[in-house]
Amino acid sequence: MPQGKPSVVPEDGLTTRQRRTRPLVIVHTGPGKGKSTAAFGTALRAWNQGWPVGVFQFVKSAKWRVGEERALQVLGRSGEGGTVTWHKMGEGWSWIQRGDQEDHAADAREGWEQIKRDLAAETYRLYVLDEFTYPIKWGWIDVEDVLAALAARPGSQHVVITGRDAHPDLVAAADLVTEMAKVKHPMDAGQKGQRGIEW
């Protein structure tokens, strides 16, 4: 794709402008670091365009203070770009093995139902569904329901989904899929995550 030009122009009857504003489903998957980081970079671009942004985190603990969360919420309140709303679904149940797993599954399903309501109401222009591949993988959320809701979303709502092991049907339905590959990571040498790098 040299100079940002597509190598093929489909004969779909759409104008260049219609193609340029078509809502996308974007998936960041794979074992490498950077899936959420890339999604939050997209959220920054959306904020700059004045779009309302909704972030839904499905795995990370509600107690974690994620750097991108603070930065985007401060920007969202600045009055200069779009608004930013941040939702944390549960209390970090994939990392903390406490409580009833069924409660976590119910929380994930409740979060997905909220997203479907927001999609129907066109609440946001960009949705970041962070770590959303996991509740699909674990069978807590039905992939067919996800695909149907994404296909039926009105308006020009973009959706970015992150997480390892994206379902093959989700990958097939997405407009853009990036697989992050790990070449080397400090954790391989026993080093834990660092402030300012992982959070």
Q: Residue 7 is inside which H or E element, if any? A: none
* pLDDT at res. 95: 40
Which tokens hold the place of 22? 């078509």
User: Which positions ≥6 away from 68 have C-beta within 8 Å?
Assistant: 36, 37, 40, 43
Q: How many domains does the chain have?
A: 1
The three-state secondary structure class of 55 is: strand
Tell me: pLDDT of 59 over 90.
Answer: no
Q: Is the dihedral of CA 17, 18, 23, 24 positive or negative?
A: negative
Tell me: pLDDT of 153 over 60.
Answer: yes
Percent share of the chain, pLDDT over 90: 59
* pLDDT at res. 65: 64
Rounded mean pLDDT, 25-54: 96
* pLDDT at res. 32: 94
Could you tell me the pLDDT band of residue 90, with boundaries at 50, 70 and 90?
Answer: low
Percent share of the chain, pLDDT over 70: 88
| Domain containing residue 114 | 22-158
Check if the beta carbon of residue 186 is closer than 8 Å to that of residue 33: no
> Domain holding 153: CATH number?
3.40.50.300
Is residue 145 domain-resident? yes
* pTM for the full predicted model: 0.87
- CA atoms lying within 13 Å on the CB side of residue 42: 26
Is residue 50 domain-resident? yes
Work out the mean pLDDT of the chain and round it to a whole number.
87
Is residue 51 domain-resident? yes
Do you know the residue count of the chain?
Answer: 199
Tell me: pLDDT of 149 over 90.
Answer: yes
Could you tell me the pLDDT band of residue 96, with boundaries at 50, 70 and 90?
Answer: very low
Rounded mean pLDDT, 145-154: 98
Rounded mean pLDDT, 30-58: 95
Is residue 15 domain-resident? no
Q: Residue 123 is inside which H or E element, if any? A: none
Is residue 7 domain-resident? no
Q: Higher-confidence residue: 68 or 123?
A: 123
Is residue 17 domain-resident? no
Tell me: pLDDT of 97 over 50.
Answer: no
Q: What distances in angstroms separate CA 23 from CA 60, 80, 107, 190, one per listed residue?
A: 27, 24, 27, 41
Using N-to-C axis directions, what is the helix angle for 35-48 and 67-77, rounded to 10°? Answer: 10
Rounded mean pLDDT, 53-61: 83
* pLDDT at res. 60: 59
Could you tell me the pLDDT band of residue 101, with boundaries at 50, 70 and 90?
Answer: low
What are 160's strand-pairing partners?
26, 128
Is residue 44 domain-resident? yes
Q: What is the largest CA-CA distance in the chain?
A: 55
Is residue 128 domain-resident? yes
